[in-house]
Amino acid sequence: MQTLTEKILSRAAGKTVSPGDVVEVSVDIVAFHDLTGYHVIEVMEKAGLKKVFKKESIVIAFDHLAPPPDVRSAEIQQVIRRFAKEVGIPNFHDVGYGILHQVLVEKYVLPGHVVVAADSHTTTSGALGAFAQGMGASDVAAAAITGKTWLTVPQPFKITLEGKLKEYVTGKEVALEILRVFKADYFVGRSIEVEVKEPQSFPMDYRLTVANMGIEMNADALMFVPDEVTINYVETARGFRPRPIAPDQGAQYEDEHTVELSKVDFLVAAPHSVDNVKSVRDVAGEEVDMVFIGSCTNGRLSDLEIAARLLKGKKVKTRCIVIPASWNVFRKALGLGYIQTLVEAGCIVTFGTCGPCIGGHFGIVGPGEVVVSTSNRNFVGRMGSPQAKIYLSGPAVAAATAALGKIAEPGDAM
Of 241, 265, 289, the last residue of a domain is 265
Q: Identify whether 67 is preceded by a cis peptide bond (ω within 30 of 0).
A: yes
The whole-angstrom separation of Cα 343 and Cα 393 is 21
Could you tell me if 257 and 273 lie in one domain?
A: no
Could you tell me if 390 and 276 lie in one domain?
A: yes
The whole-angstrom separation of Cα 403 and Cα 307 is 10
Of 226, 250, 265, the last residue of a domain is 265
Could you tell me if 169 and 146 lie in one domain?
A: no
Could you tell me if 168 and 76 lie in one domain?
A: no
The pLDDT, as a whole number, for residue 315 is 98
Could you tell me if 284 and 387 lie in one domain?
A: yes
Could you tell me if 374 and 349 lie in one domain?
A: yes
Mark out the alpha helices in 299-414 (DSSP H runs): 301-311, 327-335, 338-344, 395-404
Does residue 117 lie in a domain region?
Answer: yes
> The domain containing residue 402 runs over which residues?
268-413
Mean pLDDT by 10 residues, the chain (414 residues): 98 97 98 96 95 97 95 97 97 97 98 98 98 97 98 98 98 98 96 98 98 98 98 96 94 97 98 97 97 97 98 98 97 98 97 92 95 96 96 98 98 88
Instruction: Say how many CA atoms lie within 13 Å of 215 toward its Cβ.
Output: 20
In the chain, the number of structural domains is: 3
Residue 185 one-letter amino acid: D
From residue 326, alpha-carbon distances to 48, 67, 100, 164, 172 in Å are 34, 13, 9, 28, 19
The whole-angstrom separation of Cα 225 and Cα 245 is 8
Residue 219 sits in a domain of what CATH number?
Answer: 3.40.1060.10
Bridge partners (DSSP) listed for residue 31 = 59, 117
Could you tell me if 97 and 192 lie in one domain?
A: no
Mark out the alpha helices in 151-300 (DSSP H runs): 171-182, 204-212, 228-238, 280-283, 295-298
Could you tell me if 57 and 142 lie in one domain?
A: yes
Of 152, 184, 209, the last residue of a domain is 152
Does residue 137 lie in a domain region?
Answer: yes
Beta strands in 62-143 (DSSP E): 92-93, 114-117, 131-134
The whole-angstrom separation of Cα 112 and Cα 334 is 33
What is the number of other CB atoms lying within 10 angstroms of the CB of residue 277?
Answer: 20
Could you tell me if 106 and 163 lie in one domain?
A: no
Residue 281 sits in a domain of what CATH number?
Answer: 3.30.499.10
The pLDDT, as a whole number, for residue 56 is 97
Q: Which residue, 172, 21, 34, 19, is CA-closest to 96?
A: 34
Could you tell me if 273 and 359 lie in one domain?
A: yes
Could you tell me if 132 and 165 lie in one domain?
A: no
The pLDDT, as a whole number, for residue 414 is 80
Does residue 2 lie in a domain region?
Answer: no
The SS3 assignment for 313 reads coil
Does residue 46 lie in a domain region?
Answer: yes
Could you tell me if 229 and 204 lie in one domain?
A: yes
The pLDDT, as a whole number, for residue 117 is 98
